[in-house]
């Protein structure tokens, strides 16, 4: 609805109050969220890159992936650059105001409690169309059926990769969502949402 993620959380709390025995896992607040990424995602990245990673790029939804992964990678390499992608129309992380946007999965309209901004070195604001276009390009040209937030993260990674100071650097981008969830959205609505 018009309240975005805050409205979804309010509704979940209503259901919790009305449903005996129910629980909410609190993905925006639960320390298990970044902890699991520290134990799994970070280890996978270190293993797959042989520990040679210069830049990590990811979107911030709950903040768990970037916070947990960055906490381990910064210990491994204190010089690693951590880059967060956020919606240009809801630039909360970079000090702007919340707003409506089309990049589902990131940009909740508030700074999640588990997100640790001290681990982020740079924030890239991504326009809706750039996220959607990049998500489509990943499907068409790379065979990666990803969602809109992955398109945003990949777009941010391309912007970082084009900087002269990053030539030859190992850049890893986290693509956290699957395009199957987005087949009926603007991501794959080519006629209704041409780019």
Percent of the chain with pLDDT over 90: 79
Contact 153, 58 (CB under 8 A): yes
Domain 30-182: give its CATH architecture. Answer: 3-Layer(aba) Sandwich (3.40)
Residue ranges of domains in the chain? 30-182
H helix or E strand, kind and range, residue 66:
helix 64-76
pLDDT of residue 1: 60
DSSP 124-155: EEE-HHHHHHHHHHHHHHH---B-HHHHHHHH
When pLDDT is averaged across residues 45-74 and rounded to a whole number, the result is: 98
Q: Which residue has the higher pLDDT, 183 or 77?
A: 77
Nearest Cα to Cα of residue 79 among 116, 58, 51, 108: 51
Q: Is the pLDDT of residue 57 over 70?
A: yes
Contact 121, 83 (CB under 8 A): yes
């Amino acid at each position: 609805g018009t309240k975005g993620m805050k409205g979804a959380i309010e509704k979940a709390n209503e259901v919790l109050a009305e449903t005996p025995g129910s629980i909410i896992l609190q993905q925006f607040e639960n320390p298990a969220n970044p902890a699991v990424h520290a134990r799994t995602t970070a280890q996978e990245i270190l293993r797959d890159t042989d520990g040679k990673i210069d830049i990590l790029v990811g979107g911030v939804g709950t903040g768990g992936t970037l916070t947990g992964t960055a906490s381990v990678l910064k210990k491994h390499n204190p010089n690693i650059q951590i880059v967060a992608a956020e919606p240009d129309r809801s630039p909360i992380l970079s000090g702007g105001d919340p707003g409506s946007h089309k990049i589902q999965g990131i940009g909740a309209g508030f700074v999640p409690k588990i997100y640790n901004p001290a681990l982020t070195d740079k924030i890239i604001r991504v326009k809706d169309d750039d996220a959607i276009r990049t998500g489509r390009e990943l499907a068409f040209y790379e065979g990666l059926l990803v969602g809109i937030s992955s398109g945003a993260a990949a777009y941010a990674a391309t912007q970082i990769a084009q900087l002269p100071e990053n030539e030859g650097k190992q850049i890893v981008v986290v693509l956290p969502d699957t395009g199957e969830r987005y087949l009926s959205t603007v991501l794959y609505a080519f006629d209704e949402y041409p780019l």
